[in-house]
Every structure is written in structure tokens, then in C-alpha cells.
Amino acid sequence: MKVTGVIQAGGRSTRMGGRPKALIELGGRRIIERVLAVLAPAVDDVLIVTNTPELYAFLGLPMVADVYPDRGSLGGIYSGLRAAPSESAFTVACDMPFLHPEIVGLVVARAGLGDVVIPRVGHQLETMHAAYGKACLPHIEERLLAGQLKIVEFFERVRVVEIAEADVARFRDPEVAFMNVNTPDELERARGLAARLG
């Protein structure tokens, strides 16, 4: 099955003082460049969901705006999935600097087995490191129009395949693999990790 990689770069970065998280340098590269370097080899094509395309033009990738603005991550998932040329979209946040190729591969390889293929770590489903199939679109849209923006709430309407924490942990500590850089403190922690991981 063909899978499109979708990088979500539509957030406002309010906890980072409005500075676009994706463009912060970490270990000599912008975070979004780190994400792209891991994502691109694992999927058939890549697009970016963003409402500020001028910031990401340097990547030379197709970009789409939010279909329903100000609807958070669920709106971004919908916009990327709707625009994806493939039947499935592996969706990832733009501020996850420690994506691991094999963990991305775990999700992408199973993309055809369910409408949502998603890692679980403890009680947490990693909604911004998951594959969503086109069958999700009407259920997501219904939620967006109702203003119900919690991502997992549409899962009861579709087929969900979970990837166990133990499968993820074989390749990298899940806390590192799924880490987001949302705050200055998290950025400092990420800088230390980047130096250690190389």
C-alpha cells in the first residue's frame, strides 16, 4: 500500500513564544529537517500541513493549508489525509526531533491493516506518530464540524491497530522517540539528548 508522509506544521508555538518550533536548530539541523530525513525514505511522498507556507518553502515540498482553521491537531490530520495522494497518511508532528526509522517503519508497514495504525505507550496513544486511512475522513470531519477536537474520540468508528510499547522499545526509548519540543525546557533537554545520540 502507498503511504504519504504528512508533517504537521500548523501550530502556533505559543509555549515557545511564537517562534516556529520546526525551524529551531538542534544538533546542526532544523527540527523539521531531522523529521524529514527519517520520514522521506519510509514513505512514497511527503507533504506539509501549514498555514505559513513561506516558512517551509525552502524544503521544496507540497504544502496544504488547514481545511478547517483553528481546529488543532485533529484539523491538521484531516487536512493532510484529505490532500494525500495515497490511501493512507502517516502523520507526524514537526517538532519530534528523535523520530526513529524503524519505529516509523513499524507503523508504515502495517498501514493497510487498519484505518488507524498507532503506537501505544502506557495509556497514551501516539496520535501524532500514526497512519490514518481515507476511511477516517468522514468521521473526522463530523467531529470537526461539531467542535469535538479530541483525536481519539473518532476511533470507536474505525478499525484501529495498535503497536505495542515493547515493539517500539526494541529500537529506542519511547519517551525519546515520541518526544515533542514544545517549551524552552524541552528544547534544552532535546539539545542534551541530541549531543548524546549523535
Query: Could you state, in order of their start, the residue ranges of all structural domains in the chain?
Result: 3-193
Measured distance CA(127)–CA(90) in Å, rounded: 10
The confidence band for 12, taking pLDDT boundaries of 50, 70 and 90, is: low
Note the CATH architecture for domain 3-193: Alpha-Beta Complex (3.90)
Q: Which of 151, 160, 2, 3 is nearest to 90 (CA)?
A: 3
How many residues belong to the chain?
A: 198
Measured distance CA(16)–CA(138) in Å, rounded: 33
Measured distance CA(127)–CA(112) in Å, rounded: 17
The stretch 163-173 carries a mean pLDDT of 97
Q: Which of 73, 74, 70 is nearest to 141 (CA)?
A: 74
| Residue 129 pLDDT > 90 | yes
Measured distance CA(161)–CA(120) in Å, rounded: 10
Q: Cell digits for 142?
A: 463530523
Predicted confidence at residue 15, as pLDDT, reads: 57
Amino acid identity at 147: G
Would you say 169 and 178 are in contact if contact means Cβ atoms under 8 Å apart? no
Q: Give pLDDT tens digits for 45-77.
A: 999 999 999 999 999 999 999 999 999 999 999
Q: Is the pTM of this model over 0.75?
A: yes
Q: Read off φ and ψ for residue 25, nearest 5 degrees.
A: -85, 140
The confidence band for 11, taking pLDDT boundaries of 50, 70 and 90, is: low
The confidence band for 197, taking pLDDT boundaries of 50, 70 and 90, is: confident
Q: Cell digits for 35?
A: 523529521
